[in-house]
């Protein structure tokens, strides 16, 4: 699992879902997008939207730490297929060996955070898994990736 922080909380996504971890660079703003859409990232000649996970979870922008990174993923679209998406997160510094069986249900089912999955307890505290497929509402997916247009 790729481990990262959003404030003092620790989160993880399976490394199989990660394409690359890139340094934080200047992003092109997206007019009238939700606050958590940080901008567009030129990823190897492809413009990809970047989601500020700190803004999404804590209503504050990710801090400019040396270890703040853009995690590039192949985002699974609700309509099928995948698109390149960047996830801005703090302290993206390590991977951790956690298996599916290490995670347990939290008992929480919050409608505003359907992307929060089970949690694992490690020597350094709790790590909550991100359910990538649930991260963006279908309406936002359609807007960011122009779904349904030819």
Does the pTM exceed 0.85?
yes
- Mean per-residue pLDDT, 65-84: 94
Beta strands in the chain (DSSP E): 2-6, 9-13, 18-23, 37-43, 46-52, 69-76, 82-95, 116-122, 125-130
Q: What percentage of the chain's residues is helix, strand, coil (to nearest 5)?
A: 15, 45, 40
Domain boundaries, the chain: 2-145
Give residue-wise pLDDT tens across range 115-139.
Answer: 888 899 988 889 999 999 999 988 8
2-145, CATH topology level? OB fold (Dihydrolipoamide Acetyltransferase, E2P) (2.40.50)
């Amino acid at each position: 699992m790729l481990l990262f922080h959003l404030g003092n909380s620790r989160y993880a996504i399976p490394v199989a879902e990660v394409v690359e971890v890139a340094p934080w660079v200047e992003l092109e703003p997206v007019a009238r997008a939700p606050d958590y859409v940080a901008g567009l990232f030129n990823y190897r000649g492809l413009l990809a939207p970047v989601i500020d996970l700190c803004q999404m979870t804590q209503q504050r922008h990710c801090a400019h730490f040396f270890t703040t990174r853009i995690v590039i993923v192949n985002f699974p679209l609700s309509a099928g297929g995948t698109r390149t998406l960047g996830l801005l997160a703090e302290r993206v510094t390590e991977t951790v060996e956690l298996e599916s069986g290490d995670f347990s249900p939290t008992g929480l089912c919050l409608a505003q955070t359907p992307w929060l999955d089970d949690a694992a307890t490690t020597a350094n505290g709790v790590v909550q898994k991100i359910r990538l497929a649930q991260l963006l509402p279908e309406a936002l997916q359609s807007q960011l990736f122009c779904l349904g247009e030819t």
